[in-house]
Structure 1
Amino acid sequence: MSGYGGSPPPGWQDPYGGSQGWGGDPYAADPYAAGYGYGPPGMPTKPPNNGSTVAALVCNIVSVVLCCGVLSIPGVVTSAIAMGRMHSDPESARRLTTWSWVLFGISVVLGLIVIVIYVVAVVYAESNGYDSTY
């Protein structure tokens, strides 16, 4: 027996219960019944998607430029590293992208807190008669 053709050894039972058993028709209506379930070796998989990584990179760059977000600088770095690892190590790229988004969120929250503190300080200064024109 060569492994691909011919008849099965005597007493062989199909462990998967395929109706066509050994050497079934791969073009049958139900390919799983023929014993073919995974396709030939070397089938290409779905390529990783880097849309979220690009969005994280752009958002962190905008945050650095507009808000002076200090935490957005590491976000830019982690996004750039994730883009480089997208095809070689997709799991690491996914984790780095998640960290980029976390750093971006923290940077935005801290930026909003600084703006609120500034507005409260200006309103307090004007209500107590301090001149802010100097």
Structure 2
Amino acid sequence: MSNDPYPNDRPDPRGNGPYSSDPYSSDPYVPGGPSGQQQLPAYEPGRSAPLPQPPGPPLPPPYAYPMGAPTPTNTSAIVLIVLSSLTIFTGYCCYIGIPGLVLGILGVTKQATDPEGAAKLTKIGWISFGALIGLTLLAVAGVILFAVLAES
């Protein structure tokens, strides 16, 4: 005598009895069991159907599209921005850095759309930066020379 409360509800391990059939052996979408002729689509209701594959070679993944060549960075404009910012923040030569800073920023922002125009703006920025440094050095030398000559 066994202490099993449900003796008839267990499947027979040898494959005999009412529970011996494999629940995965038949397709639930085929009417009439595994011997039916008509087969419904292999998707659940409420979900989209799988897309049919086009004839020919398989398509590449959607993220594998050709990319354009990356535009090179305008390093000269970045250096111009840094040096112009330093001259502005020193406080002694504020006016030297303003044109170079503006033209350097324009050179960096135009780099992606117009690399030649960005190079021209950067070149003009360097010329204005150098010219203003030269004018500042001449002005400082003139003030020192005037002070030295005025004392004698």
Structure 2 Cα separation of the partners of residues 105 and 50 of structure 1? 19
Give the match for residue 31 of structure 1: none
- Residue identity matched to 2:148: V
Instruction: Give the number of aligned pairs.
Output: 87
Question: How far is the alpha carbon of 1:82 from its aligned partner?
Answer: 1.0
Identity between Structure 1 and Structure 2 (%): 29
* RMSD, matched Cα: 2.1
5 Å matches for 1:51-70?
Answer: 51-66=75-90, 67-70=92-95
Give the match for residue 123 of structure 2: 98
Q: Is the 8 A contact 1:63 1:108 kept in 2?
A: no
Using CA pairs under 8 Å that are at least 6 residues apart, name the structure with larger relative contact order, 1 or 2.
Answer: 1
Please report the TM-score for the alignment, with normalisation by the length of structure 2: 0.51
Flag the structure with higher helix content.
1
Please report the TM-score for the alignment, with normalisation by the length of structure 1: 0.57
- Residue identity matched to 1:62: L
Larger of the two Rg values belongs to structure: 2
Consecutive unaligned residues in structure 2, runs of 5 or more: 1-65
Q: Is the 8 A contact 1:57 1:76 kept in 2?
A: yes
Give the match for residue 135 of structure 2: 110
Question: How far is the alpha carbon of 1:80 from its aligned partner?
Answer: 0.7
Consecutive unaligned residues in structure 1, runs of 5 or more: 1-41, 128-134
Q: Is the 8 A contact 1:82 1:97 kept in 2?
A: yes
Moved beyond 4 Å, runs of 4+: none
Structure 2 Cα separation of the partners of residues 106 and 43 of structure 1? 41
